[in-house]
Structure 1
Amino acid sequence: MTAVADALRGLKISPKEIANRSRLPLERVEAILSGENAALSEVRAIAAGLRVPLHLLARARPASEATSVRPLFRDTKKGQASYDLTVEKVASFIEAALEILPPRSGLPGWLQAIGAGERTYAEADRLAKQFRRMVFEDHEEQPASDLFLVLGSLEGVIVSRLDYSRYEGVSLVAGNYCFIFVSPRFAGRMLFTVGHELGHIVAHHQNGDRALFEEPSDIGSFGRHSQEESFVDAFSSCLLLPDVGVGKSLKLFRDHFGIESNNLTDMEILLLARFYGVSFEVAARRCEDLRLLPAGVGHSLATTLSKEFGSPEKRAESLGLPARPEVSFPPISANLAEHLSSKINLGEISIGWAADRLGVTIGEILAANVRPVEP
């Protein structure tokens, strides 16, 4: 197995998609994955297409633990091969980000102001309300569909995407900065994942704790896994669906659509899900937690809608319900873009180095209003 093949095998991507992204012939990609040596031009094409730092793709072995960041990534492989390209990408991103960002002497003020207590639903709800009061003007009702933008501008927080990975979300604190990574998915799922990872940072992450890499089954478990995971699931649910807002919204929906049923209908849950930008299942589970639905009914409803209409989303479309709010996920957080622009303009780093190490394109750097100095 070559270094390139070894690096690529842990990614959640098919040979066909690698070929499409790299613009290499499918037959050539399959040959490289089977162990044939890749030319440097082919490695460059794959690295650019998959937004993988070239040095990681070519090396395919764990990096030296010499830097202060690397110890945070010990024991993150979950029994997988010794070289995990996603882990290395995240580590490389954070090393680069900490070169770009100014040093911090302590954790962000907003995080120090939050103190998590016992791992109960009531405490998760209290923390979510406290955080909403910090970042949202209308904290009791406002949808959090702009959560990626809010976090990207919040003191000491960097949010980034996690392309082509088997992991759903990653969180850690390094250099007194809070880092959150989220895989591109259905927008409702991404919102819940970023809320879940924020919950981990609020609840227990401290500077120097190991990075937390989570697969899809780790997020949205709602009691099926550890107490810690259930706690941050509850935090995300309460953050995205504030109880006061849920109550007022449901009353508004009933009045507007003339709904007279004594029981909560699938239409109301779909409206709630679309208004707050979450999935049907998350909205239904929140209604259960608020005692608006009997326990377990949400899952049964989701199963029924999938059988009868293909999915809850297709049911919403058949009813002509309002579209979901747009969820914006900038390739570069505002906090990082600001300092990246300064470093490039001062000539301290090149735009090419930044694109490679951060896993973004030069076009995305320019679109973030980061401009190199004119000669």
Structure 2
Amino acid sequence: MRSKISRLEPRFPTISKRTGISVERLQSISHGSSPSLSELLALGKYLRIPVDAIGEFDDSTGVADMRLRSSSGPEMFYSSEMRVRLITDFILKEAGSNERNIQIEMKASTENLRSIDDTSLVVRSLFHLEEEIGPIRDISKVISDSKLAHVIKLRGFGVDGACVSIEGVNFIFVSAQYAPRMRFTVAHELAHIIFGHCRSRPIIDENIFNDDAGIADDENLANTFASCLLMPVLGITRFIARFKEIFDQKNDSISSVEVAYIARFFGASFEAAGNRLEQIRIIDRGVTASILSEIRKNFESAEAYMRGLPVKENYDEVPVLSPALKKFVRAKIEDGQYSVSRVANIFGYTVNEVYEFIR
């Protein structure tokens, strides 16, 4: 990019008018000075180079180190990490004390499941649920109301989720997709926040259900915590006991129907529910994979299998903005500090959709 800017030196006055960057500053960048984030975005847009292909950011300075890759097309696009940075920068400029989150750092270990279970129950106590071991119906709302984090749903995010804690504000990002997977992702990202994994630098989770045996300890811990948070062990055992009582089942075996009902009751995917049952040793390791294999012989997916259940989903959809952040963005729009079109551009929604999700 620097070489490209240098070759355009005769056009610096025009570029300056188009980007808002002074001629002197353009000369400085062309000779080695690192641009700020806003300068990088302006130059990337003007030069039609994808910004996520030309900048690596130093969190301590807020400037970018430059590299150049050929553009795959004329439109500027953002990587998942760049989108996280754009949104957090956008919100933090106007964030006040009401938008700050409580800063806690808990300890737990994947070598001690009890420690993770106990931590999840502490977090649940902050949610003030009607039933402490019951399902969490609106995970975005309880996280927001407890001031643990702001939850943001993004379309076309390209990864399962992301999170960052910066300047006293905790952000959770989740990709718009199958609702139970979004709920698990939100719980997974919350784990990164409360265990202090994402202080000042975002964590990007491309696939939280990665089966790689070499998965990082932090990711393993976050997945385990998400399972514990959404499906507390006492809640599961009570549900199973009640299920067997209603259907007059005398044996201890767990069928695919019971796994599906547990998943539906706690607002989890079939796979997540099965993995949790394995985790707490109600079923043996590998049983979930075996059941899924059988289900897929007759159904397109476990989700398709669950659609046949005679019970409704026991959860609310994850909104674009969790309640506190929705209130904040709406107030800024009403005060004229944010324009609706700017919010739409930053969050990746249409103007009409912005009006819908801030109502």
- Residue 306 of structure 1 deviates from its aligned partner by 1.2
Greater Cα offset, 86-95 or 302-311? 302-311
- Spell out, residue by residue over 1:339-367, the C-alpha distance to the aligned partner (whole angstroms, 9 max, x if none): 22332333333222222223333334333
| Map of 1:89 onto structure 2 | 83
> Normalization by structure 1: what TM-score?
0.72
Alignment of 1:109-188 (within 5 A): 109=102, 111-112=103-104, 114-120=105-111, 121-155=113-147, 157-188=149-180
Name which structure has the greater RCO, CA cutoff 8 Å, separation 6+: 1
Matches within 5 A, 1:1-375: 60-61=50-51, 62=54, 70=62, 85-102=79-96, 108-109=101-102, 111-112=103-104, 114-120=105-111, 121-155=113-147, 157-205=149-197, 207-208=199-200, 210-216=201-207, 218-219=208-209, 221=211, 224-318=214-308, 320-369=309-358
When the two structures are aligned, how many residues end up with a matched partner? 305
Give 1:150 shift: 2.0
Q: Give how far 1:122 is off.
A: 2.1
Cα drift, residue 325 of structure 1: 2.5
1:342 and 1:198, CA in 2 relative to 1: closer, same or farther beyond 3 A? Answer: same
Given that residues 332 and 365 in structure 1 are in contact (C-alpha distance below 8 angstroms), is that contact kept between their aligned partners in structure 2? Answer: no
Question: Using a 3 Å threshold, how does the CA distance of structure 1 residues 68 and 353 change in structure 2: closer, same or farther?
Answer: farther
Cα distance in 2, alignment partners of residues 279 and 66 from structure 1: 38
Measured in 2, the distance between the counterparts of 1:134 and 1:167 equals 28
TM-superposition CA deviations, 1:115-165 (whole Å, max 9, x none) = 214343222211111101110324532212310222234426221123223
Separation in structure 1 between the aligned mates of residue 336 and residue 107 of structure 2, nearest angstrom: 42
Larger Rg: 2
Structure 1 residues 313, 331: closer, same or farther in 2, change over 3 A? closer
Q: Which amino acid aligns with 1:329?
A: V
Query: Residue type of the partner of 1:214?
Result: D
Cα RMSD, aligned residues only: 3.2
Output the TM-score relative to the length of structure 2: 0.75
- 3-state DSSP of counterpart to 1:100: coil
Does the 8 Å contact 1:167/1:213 carry over to 2?
yes
Cα distance in 2, alignment partners of residues 188 and 329 from structure 1: 9
Quick one: structure 1 residues 55 and 191, their matched pair in 2 at CA, closer, same or farther if it must change by over 3 Å?
farther
Paired with 2:117 and 2:44, the residues of 1 have a C-alpha distance of 41
Whichever residue aligns with residue 343 of structure 2, its letter is A
**Distance of aligned partners of 1:219 and 1:239 in 2 relative to their CA distance in 1, 3 Å threshold:** same
Q: Which deviations, in whole Å up to 9, do the C-alpha atoms of 1:68-97 show, x marking residues without a partner?
A: 7957x99xxxxxx9x853222221111111
Superposed structure 1 runs of 4+ greater than 6 Å apart? 53-57, 66-69
Cα separation, 1, equivalents of 2:58 and 2:269: 42
For the Cα contact (< 8 Å) 2:87–2:347, is it kept in 1?
A: yes
Give yes or no for contact 2:154–2:347 (8 Å, CA) kept in 1: no
Superposed CA offset, 1:273-293 (max 9, x none): 111111111111111122211
Equivalent position amino acid for 1:290 in 2: I
Q: Are the structure 2 counterparts of residues 206 and 185 from structure 1 closer, same or farther at C-alpha, using a change threshold of 3 Å?
A: closer
